[in-house]
Amino acid sequence: MSKLARRLFSALGLAAALLAGAPTMAQAQSYLRVNASEPKYAAIVVDANTGEVLFDKRADNPRYPASITKVMTMYLAFEALSEGRLKPTDRVVFSPRAAAAQPTKLGLKAGDSITVDEAIKAISVKSANDAAVALAEKLGGTESRFASMMTLRARELGMTRTNFTNAHGLPDSRQVSTARDIAILSRAVMRDFPQYYSYFSLKGFAFRGGYIRGHKRLLDTMPGFDGLKTGYINASGFNLAGSAVRDGKRLIAVVLGGPSAAWRDDNMEDLLLGGFDTLRRRERGERSYTMASNVFDEPRGGVVRAPSAQGDGEQDGMKIQLTNNPSAGQRYAVQSKMSPVPDPKPRKTVAAVEKVKKAKGDYVVQVGAFKQKEQAKTHLATMNKKFGKLLSEGAGEVADRVDGYYRVRFVGLTQDDAKGACQALKAKAQSCLVTAN
């Protein structure tokens, strides 16, 4: 559907709302576009705080993740950083295998090296396959062993339909996932490592006297959008795992199998806007409102297919059996629960490092998650020392161990104070996450 057509649907929706006596633009949300006739297409929208699935289509059908695979590669790197097994300044050496990886890549020669920080930036921004292999070899010894680590962690996170065989997402018929599993991973990475989430928001980075720009268009065009990862191979179509924050609420959406990069990005924006609109309507008392009521199934004839050269520059030459069975996820599921995803909110019982003040509000700013309690305490002390004034309205604490992590957070904040503190921290390149307690 063209931009003009989208505006037309919005205008028609507004006219209908006005005739019905609706007073606001939010009640004139344009139709959400899905592509029922495209067998590769799958999508899901999730409330990042509660895990509620606001919308899904074929969310459990097998798909190729392509470069969204790299979110798990980065997850394991973040885990190593948080445990002290890895430092941002450590060197990552490119083996002959890493240097030989197919584009997109940095193009370094075997024996050359970059820092861990540069490797993560290259993976997130450029989707560099050679950097992904090099980092995998540093963490796992070999890429195949690292892929086994990825699959194991996927199972532990509740990604029951995912299997990894490489660290970058280049074609392999055994490497599959689903929209729901990718949403689980997206939710886990921001829950477990908020201190590193800003890597997903980078628009570019300086490298060896130059500047490498990314291709996450929505970072520039959609207010509140801050990540995560694109992906493309011929067999998968155009993929995107994305997240956005508005009015203190965060949504995660996954779009797989888009016919073009532009269509995928537009669909992601539609889904996120539809999700926020659903939450607003519920707050206004429209408890029964669902995203499915606004769905428009776009016919195949209305889709403009892009040439295979577009996307992340990955190569492919394989086929996959894509299920299109209504019983396997083609139906709409608008109020189901992502039960495999642990609740990101820490338990109520906490071990505070300092005496908790009388709470003014029930919002929390989370600033880190660590496997070792002493590391969490050290991080809390650092945050108090560096950003104590910004977080003075909250009480710092290290929460009891949940899902293997001690979370560093500031509790007892009002929603406005929490949002303001987190915005100020992000301006100082400190990652954070706002949640309701």
- For residue 177 the two structure tokens come to 């996932």
All residues at 6 or more sequence positions from 290 whose CB lies less than 8 Å from its CB, including other chains: 54, 55, 278, 332, 334, 335
Token pair 């995912």 is at which residue? 162
- For residue 26 the two structure tokens come to 């939010």
* 383 C-beta neighbours (distance < 10 Å), count: 23
Determine whether 127 is an active site residue. Answer: yes
Catalytic residue selected from 82, 124, 127, 186? 127
* 375 C-beta neighbours (distance < 10 Å), count: 18
* 282 C-beta neighbours (distance < 10 Å), count: 14
Catalytic residue selected from 30, 40, 57, 70? 70
The string over 64-82, giving b where at least 16 C-beta atoms fall within 10 Å of a residue's C-beta and e elsewhere, is bbbbbbbbbbbbbbbbbbb
Residue 235: which of 127, 308, 312 has the closest Cα?
A: 308
Catalytic residue selected from 67, 124, 186, 431? 67
Left, alpha or beta for 206 (phi > 0: left; psi -120 to 50: alpha)? beta
Tell how far CA 380 is from the center of its chain: 25
Determine whether 70 is an active site residue. Answer: yes
Cβ–Cβ under 8 Å, residues 413 and 340: no
Q: What angle do CA 10, 14, 18 make, to 5 degrees?
A: 175
Cβ–Cβ under 8 Å, residues 238 and 263: yes
Active-site annotation, residues = 67, 70, 127
